[in-house]
Amino acid sequence: MFKRVAVVCVVVLAMAVPAAAQEKPYSFMAGGVLMAPLSNSADRFSMGLGFTGGFAWRFTSQLSLTADYLWSALGVQEGSAANGASRPAEVTPRIQFGTVNIKFQGAPGRARLHLLAGGGIYHRSVGLRASGSGNISVCDPWWFLCPPGPIPVSSFNGTRTATNPGLNVGVGLTAGRFFAEIRYHFMWGPKFQTSKGTEDANGKFFPLTVGVTF
């Protein structure tokens, strides 16, 4: 009887140990975002809030492939709503993007530093609205609008968008299921002819993300 019990225990342990040792090769993440514009974008837009969600596939305990999506509203710098137009205008900027990155983490521990870098597709939109009628003169590459001359207010009002590729690099810290991460994002933008010559409406942003993994 004892021998049978011993054999059963050994078999159960032999089956349980590999199962316990196996860890899911994938994980998900979700978090809140504080989005900070940089450079020319910061001259027009101020910090905003957003959210993000993503997925990671581990090749090893330290190397992963990640994919994520982020959406954020942005504020408007004081006075910038009139800088690009001949009359005051209401400006509503938004940004969203999806990126794929290689992520390298430190050795397993209570807190793990990680680095990541990759590329993605970035979609920016700027809603514009001026009151009244008549014509309006406007030229601001980061509003994605720079016609050769005045245009009717009805043509000015609307949403302009740009979808372009970009790159990002960042650093973060994970403790248990919680993480904090900051990245630098650069996205190419469309070209516009301005009084200063040809300008590229490239975007530069610096989001801080705090979230959980599961």
Domain residue spans of the chain: 24-213
Predicted local distance difference test score (pLDDT) of residue 15: 43
Helices (H) and strands (E) in the chain, counts: 4, 14
Tokens representing 174?
Answer: 């994970």
Per-residue pLDDT of the chain (214 residues; tens, 9 = 90+): 534 534 433 343 344 344 334 579 999 999 999 999 999 999 999 999 999 999 999 999 999 999 999 999 999 998 777 778 999 999 999 999 999 999 999 999 999 999 999 999 999 999 999 999 999 999 999 999 999 999 999 999 999 999 999 999 999 999 999 999 999 999 999 999 999 899 999 999 999 999 999 9
In DSSP notation, 139-197 reads: -BGGGTB--SS-EEHHHHSEEEEEEEEEEEEEEEEEETTEEEEEEEEEE---EEEETTE
Please, which residues have CB within 8 angstroms of residue 185's CB and are 6 or more apart in sequence?
97, 122, 166, 167, 168, 203, 204, 205, 206, 207
CATH architecture of 24-213: Beta Barrel (2.40)
Question: How far apart are the C-alpha atoms of 165 and 89, rounded to whole Å?
Answer: 29
Please, which residues have CB within 8 angstroms of residue 115's CB and are 6 or more apart in sequence?
103, 104, 169, 170, 171
Neighbours of 157 (CB within 10 A): 15
Predicted model pTM: 0.87
Predicted local distance difference test score (pLDDT) of residue 50: 98
Tokens representing 48?
Answer: 């905003």
Predicted local distance difference test score (pLDDT) of residue 22: 52
Predicted local distance difference test score (pLDDT) of residue 185: 98
Question: How far apart are the C-alpha atoms of 141 and 22, rounded to whole Å?
Answer: 52
Predicted local distance difference test score (pLDDT) of residue 60: 96
**The total number of residues written for the chain in this structure:** 214
Predicted local distance difference test score (pLDDT) of residue 44: 95
Tokens representing 115?
Answer: 């680095």
